[in-house]
Amino acid sequence: MPEFNAPLRDMRFVLHEVFHGPALWARLPALAERVDADTADAILEEAAKITSQLIAPLNRSGDEQGVAIEAGGVRTPDGFRQAWQTYRDGGWVGLAGNPEFGGLGMPKMLAVQFEEMLYAANCSFSLYSALSAGCCLAIDAHASEALKASYLPALYSGQWAGTMCLTEPHAGTDLGIIRSKAEPQADGSYKVSGTKIFITGGDQDLTENIIHLVLAKLPDAPAGPKGISLFLVPKRLVNADGSLGASNAVSCGSLEHKMGIKASATCVMNFDGASGYLIGEPNRGLAAMFTMMNYERLSIGIQGIGCAEASYQNAARYACERLQSRAASGAQNSEQIADPIIVHPDVRRMLLTMRALTEGGRAFATYVGQQLDIAKYAEDADERDAAQRQVALLTPVAKAFFTDNGLESCVLGQQVFGGHGYIREWGQEQLVRDVRIAQIYEGTNGIQALDLLGRKVVADGGQALAAFAAQIRQFSESEPPFRQPLLKALGELEDLSQWLCEQARRDPNAIGAASVEYLHLFGYVAYAYMWSRMAAVARDSLVQDPAFYGAKLASAGFYFERLLPRTLSLHASIRAGSASLFELDAAQF
Amino acid sequence: MPEFNAPLRDMRFVLHEVFHGPALWARLPALAERVDADTADAILEEAAKITSQLIAPLNRSGDEQGVAIEAGGVRTPDGFRQAWQTYRDGGWVGLAGNPEFGGLGMPKMLAVQFEEMLYAANCSFSLYSALSAGCCLAIDAHASEALKASYLPALYSGQWAGTMCLTEPHAGTDLGIIRSKAEPQADGSYKVSGTKIFITGGDQDLTENIIHLVLAKLPDAPAGPKGISLFLVPKRLVNADGSLGASNAVSCGSLEHKMGIKASATCVMNFDGASGYLIGEPNRGLAAMFTMMNYERLSIGIQGIGCAEASYQNAARYACERLQSRAASGAQNSEQIADPIIVHPDVRRMLLTMRALTEGGRAFATYVGQQLDIAKYAEDADERDAAQRQVALLTPVAKAFFTDNGLESCVLGQQVFGGHGYIREWGQEQLVRDVRIAQIYEGTNGIQALDLLGRKVVADGGQALAAFAAQIRQFSESEPPFRQPLLKALGELEDLSQWLCEQARRDPNAIGAASVEYLHLFGYVAYAYMWSRMAAVARDSLVQDPAFYGAKLASAGFYFERLLPRTLSLHASIRAGSASLFELDAAQF
């Protein structure tokens, strides 16, 4: 059975040594009173315990048993209810939530590391919590004070859970064409009707109530995305005194049968004139929902890192134990029948690829978390704005690049096991199945790429990119390791971005033809920045812990030598333009 | 529900127009009497019917029901038995088999196209047949006349089926350390004992008997791979008159629970002093088994193409039907709520990537089939030898590159569906699960890459590669489309190969550090050759069928503009050498 050990040493390295989290928190008043280095370490220690000892052991049994729909609703796998109780009692749902309503108000750069552990331990379990946390964020940012007071405390405490209800059978990416309706009632509430699909945690038996955030159209709404409103629709109505009232007209019609995340309930939800409450302005629901979506996008990105870390741990352990063939340079283990497969260069190539992508992703996630903390807590408005622009630029990269790398890493981790990776026993095939959804939901990775190149680079006139580049150049003045390849890759990214801005003026398809490869290119440059930052710290600290920092420097070297060159192909393919995509008529496909 | 249509037009294009199969067969005496263009077309038509109408409809139900182990043995899913009857009555198991024992003796270049259809329709079903065909090949090549006469007719007819029993719990890639034993008996037979795992079709209820080819060690065998012998071990003993006798001491201990190919029985097989018969020379079993392995390797490669084709068909159909958002250049379908997603450049990029890889693979598989036909049937020994060397060089490329591209294509096809690709309903997620094994079994793709670079290029002194390159240069004298990028990519492959030969003299890890990326590089160059050949035909035939040949030229253009540049990154990564792989101790992983 696979075993998960939270990578605490590396998390502390990133949090403390590379990004100096505690120093940042100390200068942000709201955070200064809540958290310091010791608190953060204690939280991560506790998180490591609960994820590895309580939640990880339910991962395989949850996959095998799956969720079921019964007369009373959806049943989660054995052990999930008890684990949820312990989890919620620990306050984990509201870890980064608003303290005014019971959240713990911890920094996002700490929360992302916790989320990584959670996903690494058990993707399905994690989703019940992740959706709730995102739901809280949207309510906190956009709902009335009365709704906040009624709903947030029980959501943050994990007594209730939240969902996001966007997709309909005919409307996924294109939310402008949804058909769900909301009829205003005399008391100021609404009757919400429609069918929503792919609703994670749409029903479950973990919590007493479920709070759905539902996109629907008002009777007089304009067509398209500017005619969508957001409603809070509880599974059970909430009385004025906070107690639970009657059941609302919300039901789970069926569960989807999926490739993976089988212990996560993916529901078809029917709203039949259910009572709901408007969140934010009428017809501005998409913007409000995007508060939640952006949060979810980073979280789902982290699913990619978590799965990759779990796969790496299993594969590295197996590679050190499995005896098969001899090293090319001669037997390393001559008293046994064969050498451990970690002697073989291709096995090392696979492990180092996983490692370089996962550790690079962990650093980048923590970095985006840091920008989120600055955007939220900095006293200076300009500093907040600058950080917010970085978040907007980097979130689609995080979501898509983490998860694409997550699949690559899980597939590599499965490959290290040979035939044993394809059978259930070792857990590697489940990781591949579970991570795959992260490239699809919360906006497919293709949509993330359009967001990055179309909105965050081209429509932005390259300003946010220029700010990111300026920061990298500033860092590079410290003469870090790998400075030259980092600056070269950055310069080429900037040139290409400028070329794409020009192309986009002439060719409406220029953005979509380049976007996915552009996002990957951006991701490799961002990881080069992360690896150079990590290598700089490792170089300066090497004597203190040669094993850890030496491995960090070696992994950085591997990244620059063998992974960053992937940008070469991406540049060439992007420069080919959109013409070759449009030579075939639809009928010729 | 997905629907499979055999790509007959494209298969005929490759078989007749690109590789002139019938002209080749006409000059090879053994084939001339058996097959011509009309026969080949009739066989493909019939194959299309049986695969799309009989076998494809069992694909999803087989996945859902899976195989089960019962008191009487392994039970295949509902419908498999009846389908097998029809399949075997059609003579499909022995399609390319030796006519002396009931095979149909059809050319391999035709058989590979049939195999593609079969895998596209139903991977699990295909495996029962593929293993039998390979088993026949090994028996035909190495067994005594008596064994051939006793076993081949019932195997070719599909009355019995065959397996290959290599892997043991501690021995997969490293067969030199197997523990299974064979004790000689007074009557010339052997008692075979041991446990074999991952045995495809180790038990099933499709056939009256199962013929296991088992690797085991004789009592006096030398250690390592040169002490392995091959034995034929039937499930039921065969009487002198050909009738079935008593059960042999062979049993299926359990079934593996796997990621995919769930309707294929993957068995733990126990041999407890089972009666077996030596095939070939004592201690030369590995070489004999490799006759079968090489056949299986091409076949398993074709699994990658078949799955990719099925995924492409589903995704292209969905992209033309699914309405979502508007084209960047303005609405294309203004009477509907949205445009079909095929208007979006990134959807086209995904489909064209699948198409270019799948059609390139189909051509390359047929080309390797052609070389196999020449190697087997040419009258001139030099011509046979030259073709055999090409087969040896190209088989590992085919196995690994087809299946790596198979996974990429199936993942892309799933991505085109968005969330609908992750649920069972549309069949896309099953294709991802089913194709994944093809990168692992019959020698992992990492092992294929070592075989290619270590044995077929470096140890060969680059001779087979030089012959392949000479052929490409000769073709390029006809001034085909894309001549220049083809020759450039070829020249760079040759330079790199020479550099690697030099590196390998100094550095024992040079081959393993480069091998997987080298195989991909080789594959992209080989596909460039295929696409240039296809484009040359398409250019000359364009006016006869502008839709078909125009699409072929456009797909070729896409390949050269957007996929061949992947070689740039591969070159850079390979040139980095092995050093960065060996900086970490095993304990640092």
Which residue among B316, B572, B588 places its CB closest to the CB of A568? B572
**Model pLDDT for residues B519-547, shown as the tens digit of each residue:** 999 999 999 999 999 999 999 999 999 99
A419 and chain B: CB distance < 8 Å anywhere? yes
Q: Kindly state whether A567 is in contact with chain B, defined as any CB-CB distance less than 8 angstroms.
A: yes
Which of A329, A565, A583 lies at the smallest CB-CB distance from B554?
A583
Nearest to A325 among B173, B338, B566 (CB): B173
Query: What local confidence, expressed as pLDDT, does residue A278 receive?
Result: 98
Q: Which DSSP category does B207 fall into? A: S
Contact (CB<8Å) B589/A319: yes
Is any Cβ of chain A less than 8 angstroms from the Cβ of B427?
A: no
* B383 is a catalytic site residue: no
**pLDDT per position in chain A (589 positions), as tens?**
679 999 999 999 999 999 999 999 999 999 999 999 999 999 999 999 999 999 999 999 999 999 999 998 999 999 999 999 999 999 999 999 999 999 999 999 999 999 999 999 999 999 999 999 989 999 999 999 999 999 999 999 999 999 999 999 999 999 999 999 999 999 999 999 999 999 999 999 999 999 999 999 999 999 999 999 999 999 999 999 999 999 999 999 999 999 999 999 999 999 999 999 999 999 999 988 877 676 678 989 999 999 999 999 999 999 999 999 999 999 999 999 999 999 999 999 999 999 999 999 999 999 999 999 999 999 999 999 999 999 999 999 999 999 999 999 999 999 999 999 999 999 999 999 999 999 999 999 999 999 999 999 999 999 999 999 999 999 999 999 999 999 999 999 999 999 999 999 999 999 999 999 999 999 999 999 999 999 999 999 999 999 999 999 999 999 999 999 999 999 999 999 999 999 999 999 9
CB contact under 8 A, B422 and A411: no
**In chain A, positions 36-75, which contact chain B (CB-CB < 8 Å)?**
none
Alpha-carbon dihedral B348, B350, B355, B356, rounded to 10 degrees: 100
Catalytic annotation, pick one of B115, B168, B429, B442 = B442
Report yes or no: A230 and A214 within 8 Å, Cβ to Cβ: yes
For residues B515 and B445, give the distance between their C-alpha atoms in angstroms, rounded to a whole number.
10
Which chain B positions have a beta carbon within 8 Å of A500's beta carbon?
Answer: none
Ramachandran category for residue A482: left, alpha or beta (phi over 0 → left; psi -120 to 50 → alpha): left
**pLDDT attached to residue A288:** 86
Q: Alpha carbon of A144 to those of A148, A150, A154, A192, B91: distances in Å? A: 6, 10, 16, 19, 73
CA of B282 vs chain A CAs: smallest distance (Å)? 22
Burial (CB count <10 Å: 0-12, 13-18, 19+), residue B302: buried
Q: If DSSP codes are grouped into helix, strand and coil, which group holds residue A249?
A: coil
Helices B546-558 and B510-541, packing angle to 10 deg: 150
Q: Do β-strands A73-75 and A68-70 pair in parallel, antiparallel, or remain unpaired?
A: antiparallel
Q: Which of A164, A324, A580 to mutate to test the interface with B (most CBs of B within 10 A)?
A: A580
Query: What pLDDT score does A79 carry?
Result: 98
Among residues B520, B550, B483, B530, the alpha carbon closest in space to that of B360 is found at B530
Which pLDDT band, with edges at 50, 70 and 90, does B290 fall under? confident
pLDDT of residue A1: 66
C-alpha B477/C-alpha B186 separation (Å) is 64
B415–A445 CB contact, under 8 Å: yes
Size of interface A-B (CB pairs under 8 A): 272
Q: Is the ipTM of this complex over 0.90?
A: yes
Select from A529, A401, A389 the least CA-distant residue to A467.
A389
Tens of pLDDT along B399-447? Answer: 999 999 999 999 999 999 999 999 999 999 999 999 999 999 999 999 9
Angle between helices A510-541 and A483-506 (to 10 degrees): 170
**A chain contacts of residue B414, beta-carbon cutoff 8 Å:** 436, 440
Candidates B259, B412, B445, partner chain A, best to mutate (most A CBs within 10 A):
B259
Q: At what angle do helices A483-506 and A566-575 cross, to 10 degrees?
A: 20
The reply to whether A16 touches chain B by the CB within 8 Å rule is no
User: Quick one: which of B489, B566, B580 has its CA closest to B532?
Assistant: B489
Residue of B nearest to A329 (CA): B508
> Are residues A509 and B345, on separate chains, in Cβ contact within 8 Å?
yes
DSSP assignment of B46-89 equals: HHHHIIIIIIGGGHHHHHHH--EEETTEEEPPTTHHHHHHHHHH
**Best mutation target, B197, B558, B588, to test chain A (most A CBs within 10 A):** B588
Q: Of the candidates A321, A200, A328, which has an alpha carbon nearest to the alpha carbon of residue A267?
A: A200
**Contact check, Cβ <8 Å, A324/B587:** no
B177 with A339: CB under 8 angstroms?
no
Q: For residue B171, which phi and psi values (nearest 5 degrees)?
A: -140, 105
Q: Which residues of A touch B346 (CB under 8 A)?
A: 446, 449-450, 512-513, 515-516
Q: How close B440 comes to chain A (CA, Å)?
A: 6
* pLDDT given for residue B1 in this prediction: 66
pLDDT tens profile B34-44: 999 999 999 99
Amino acid at A202: G
Contact in structure between A250 and A270 (CB atoms under 8 Å): yes
Report field, pTM of the whole predicted structure over 0.95: yes
Q: Is B396 on the interface with A (CB under 8 A)?
A: no
- Please check whether residue A512 touches B, CB under 8 A: yes
User: Among residues A515, A144, A125, A588, which one has the least CA distance to residue B316?
Assistant: A588
- Residue A569: which of B352, B557, B568 has the nearest Cβ? B568
Range list of H helices, B341-420: 345-377, 381-416
Distance (Å, rounded) from C-alpha A372 to C-alpha A391? 6
Task: Give the closest residue to B96 by CA, choosing from B108, B113, B88, B84.
Answer: B108
- B268 contacts in chain A (CB < 8 Å): none
What percent of chain A has pLDDT above 70? 99
Residues of A marked active site are found at 442
Tell me, yes or no, if A587 comes closer than 8 A to chain B by beta carbon.
Answer: yes
The minimum CA-CA distance between B90 and chain A, rounded to whole Å, is: 32
Which of B256, B338, B513 shows the shortest C-beta gap to A177?
B338
Residues of chain B contacting residue A440, judged by C-beta atoms under 8 Å apart: 414-415, 418-419, 421-422
CB within 8 Å: B576 and A562: yes
SS3 B272: strand
Share the mean pLDDT of chain B: 97
**B432 contacts in A (CB within 8 Å)?**
259, 436
Query: How far apart are alpha carbons A233 and A229 in whole angstroms?
Result: 13
Contact B162, B136 (CB under 8 A): yes
Reduce the DSSP state of residue A456 to 3 states and report it.
helix
Q: Which neighbouring-strand residues pair with B267?
A: B199, B255
A515 → closest Cβ in B327, B346, B444: B346
Q: Where are the alpha helices (DSSP H) in B426-580?
A: 428-436, 445-450, 463-476, 483-506, 510-541, 546-558, 566-575
Asked if B589's CB is within 8 angstroms of A342's CB, the reply is yes
- CB-CB under 8 Å, A449 with B583: no
Distance between CA atoms of residues A87 and A82, nearest Å: 9
Query: Does residue B263 belong to the interface with chain A, where contact is any CB pair within 8 Å?
Result: no
Judged by a CB distance cut-off of 8 A, whether residue B171 touches chain A is: yes
At B296, the pLDDT band (50, 70, 90 cuts) reads: confident
Query: What sign does the CA torsion over B120, B125, B127, B132 have?
Result: negative
Which of B197, B446, B550 is facing A346, going by the closest CB pair? Answer: B446
Report the residue of A10, A422, A573 to disrupt the B interface, i.e. the one with the largest count of B CBs within 10 Å. A422
**If you search the block for the tokens 């078989």, which residue do you land on?**
B15
For A324, which residue in chain B has the nearest alpha carbon? B174
The verdict on B223 touching A (C-beta cutoff 8 Å) is no
pLDDT at B54 over 70: yes
Q: Which residues sit opposite B215 in a β-bridge?
A: B230
User: Does residue A436 belong to the interface with chain B, where contact is any CB pair within 8 Å?
Assistant: yes
B351 interface with A at CB cutoff 8 Å: yes
Instruction: Confirm or reject contact between B407 and chain A (CB < 8 A).
Output: yes
pLDDT value of position A296? 73
Q: Which of A174, A348, A422 sits opposite B437 (nearest CB)?
A: A422
When scoring A61, A124, A178, A259 by the number of chain B Cβ atoms within 10 A, the one with the most, hence best to mutate, is A259
Contacts of A266 in chain B (CB under 8 A): 423
Half-sphere exposure of B519 (CA within 13 A, CB side): 32
Residue in A197, A423, A446 closest to B258 by CB: A423
Spell out which residues of chain B touch residue A562, defining contact as CB-CB under 8 Å: 573, 576, 580
Q: In this structure, what are the phi and psi dihedrals at residue A405, rounded to the nearest 5 degrees?
A: -65, -30
pLDDT tens digit string along B97-111?
999 999 999 999 999
Give the minimum alpha-carbon distance from B573 to chain A in angstroms, rounded to a whole number.
Answer: 5
Residue B293 has pLDDT above 80, yes or no: no
d(CA B429, CA B436): 11
Question: In which element (H, E) is residue A262 found?
Answer: none
Mutual angle of helices B285-321 and B381-416, in 10-degree steps: 40
Residue showing tokens 């923590």: A366
